[in-house]
Structures are given as C-alpha cells and as structure tokens.
Amino acid sequence: MNINTKLNLVNLKESLNCVSESVIVSSLSGDIVIINESAIKKLGLSASYQNNRNIMDFIPEDQKWKIEQAIKSNNSEYYEIELRREDDNSFPAIVSGKTIFIDEIGYRVSTILDVTSLKETEEKLLSKTKEQLKTLKNHIVKKVSQNAQDTNILKSKFDEESKNYSDDIKKLKNKILDDNKVIEILSKKIDILDKKNKELKQKILKIAKESFSFEDLLKLEIARAGSLNTKFSLVLISIDNFIEIFNSPLYRTKTDIIINATLRYFKNTLRNYDMVQYIDNGMFYIVLTNTPNFNISKMINNLIQPRILLDKLELNFTGGMSHFHQKDNVESLIYRCMKDHSEHQERKK
C-alpha cells in the first residue's frame, strides 16, 4: 500500500466515524481495513480494538455464503443476515455492500442496520393477531355448537309432535290440514338452522385455510409502519394479455398453471419478506417493506418486463404503485395504487 492510499484510508476512517450507521471497510478477502466507532460498538468490540480481524469472524457458519455471494456479484442491494458480536451473541441485521477501488486496490464497503427492534415488534404484532384469530375461531365454533343443539331440540320436538299428531289424525280427520301446516313450519325451521349450520362450518374452513385476507395483511403492515414510523409501498401488477390467454383454446385450461408460474416468478425475484398475493383476472398485489433502502422503480421495472414463463407463452405486464404515508388507510393506499396503474395503462394505449 503506497502513501497516497494510506492517506486516503485515514481520511475515509475520519469521515466514517462521523456517520451514525455502522460501516466496515474490508479487503476483497474479508480482512478489516477500517471499522467506524458505530460498528465497533454494535459488534461489542473493546476500546483497544485493532484492525486485525476478518469480517467473517462476525458471521455464523450457515450465513457466510450470503457475504461471499454478495462480494462475488458486487451486489449493492440490502439483504438479511445474522451477525455475531464479540461475546458470541447474535442479532438480526440488514447489510448492504459495495466494492470500491483506491489506487487500483479493491475494497468492500459494508453498511450494517440492526433490525432487532423491528423483528421483536413484528413478532408481537403477529402474536396479537394470532390471539385475535383464535378468539374468532372459538366464537364461531361455539355458535355452530349452539345451532346444532337448537337443531336437535327442534328435531326432537318435531318427532314428538309428529307422533302425537299421527295418533290424533285417526280420531280427528278435520284437523289434518292444521297438523300439516305445523309440520311444514317446523320443517322450514330445521332447514333454516341446517343451512346456517353449514354456512358457519364453511366460514371455519375458510378461516383455517386462508388465516389472513390480503386486506388483513395490508392493515397489519399499515399498523406496523405507523407504530415504527417506517415506510413501505404497495404495487399492483396486471397481466396485459390475460383476457387473450383466457379466451384462447390453447391456454384456457392452463390459466391456474400460468397464475402459479407468475407467482413463483414474482416471489423468486422479490425479497423473502415482501408479500405477493393474486387477486383476480390476472392482477397481483405486492407489499414492499423497508422501501427507503432500495430502488423501488428499478425493481418494478425489472418485474414488468415481458417474460416467457410457460410453453413459450410471453406475458406482458403493467405496474402501478403507491407509497405509505402516516395518515393512510387501506382504502386510500389501494386507491392511489389503482390510479397509478390505470395511468400507466393509458400511456401504453
């Protein structure tokens, strides 16, 4: 390393100590060259720390491949990882890295964001939601049981009265019409209760199958973002040629396969914690969390490029988005997203 390089690194270290984020500058082989005070504190290093460590010392074995892959591909986007402090305690983090060159020598600049509080808050919200869902399920089960009991009581009463009326019919033929009316009324009541019982059972099956609707997930994300003062974005993507595909004899029976293939494509392209849900008629909603930390427009532009996903079938897409504001609710966020999507469709036409 020549004198100019040393001076540049010294100046860089002084600058990084003024940054509140945790930053580590390492060689391409992982040897730490510069670590700012925020990173030293975050990793629990002593005040007498010297730059004689490798960045892999702070990565658990099952997580090292993420760092190696990011360095190899020079990927500057954020990714999730577990980091290990000096005392062997680990914490969840989001890391971004970029390779720079000083006097033709390559260095990796890594930025660390501790998301421990975010993960804890997310777990609390999910736990609370699960409790609410459990209460709802118990209420429905109780209601179904009560209706079943009422149905059995009415059936028993029906059987008893039918028997009594059968005996009376032999003696009182002039009351046959009235008896038949009573039987008919009781039968209708039984049918109504049986129908309600089936409807409630269907609701239980639906809750067990779906657990959360898209609006429930969106409400949960709005609540989380509001409490943590964070940002997220809602994206609406449609398959432009969906109606053409649906009406085609060749693909009409394969629409479910096409939708599933599109869902897999979106999920493989997005981050693990982004949410994707198919709505209807070739339309998908995507919730992108932590949006200030990466280029959303670039990601969406990549997603809506024409793709060949099945049997040489090319799919064309149109996308629209809206960004969460603190006073937003589900309706306002969806409205702006649909409006932006419609404007993009008009431009295409």
Q: Domain segments of the chain: what residues?
A: 3-114, 119-210, 226-348
Question: What does the pLDDT look like over 168-181, one tens digit per residue?
Answer: 777 777 778 777 88
How far, in Å, CA of 115 to CA of 59, rounded?
16
- The mean predicted confidence, pLDDT, of the chain is 79
pLDDT of residue 286: 92
Position 211 pLDDT exceeds 60: no
For the chain, give the percent of residues with pLDDT over 70.
83
pLDDT of residue 322: 92
Mean pLDDT computed over 322-340: 92
Confidence at 50, pLDDT banded by 50, 70, 90: low
Confidence at 78, pLDDT banded by 50, 70, 90: confident
CATH code 4.10.320.10 for 3-114: no
Nearest to 322 by CA among 347, 286, 276, 293: 286
Question: What does the pLDDT look like over 52-65, one tens digit per residue?
Answer: 788 888 888 888 78
pLDDT of residue 55: 81
Q: Where are the alpha helices (DSSP H) in the chain?
A: 3-16, 37-42, 64-73, 116-171, 176-210, 214-228, 242-246, 255-269, 296-303, 330-348
pLDDT of residue 7: 45
The CATH code for residues 226-348 is: 3.30.70.270
pLDDT of residue 208: 41
Nearest to 299 by CA among 279, 280, 276: 276
Nearest to 112 by CA among 73, 79, 68: 79
Question: What does the pLDDT look like over 234-255, one tens digit per residue?
Answer: 999 999 988 888 888 888 788 8
pLDDT of residue 84: 81
Position 119 pLDDT exceeds 80: no
pLDDT of residue 298: 84
Confidence at 76, pLDDT banded by 50, 70, 90: low
pLDDT of residue 94: 83
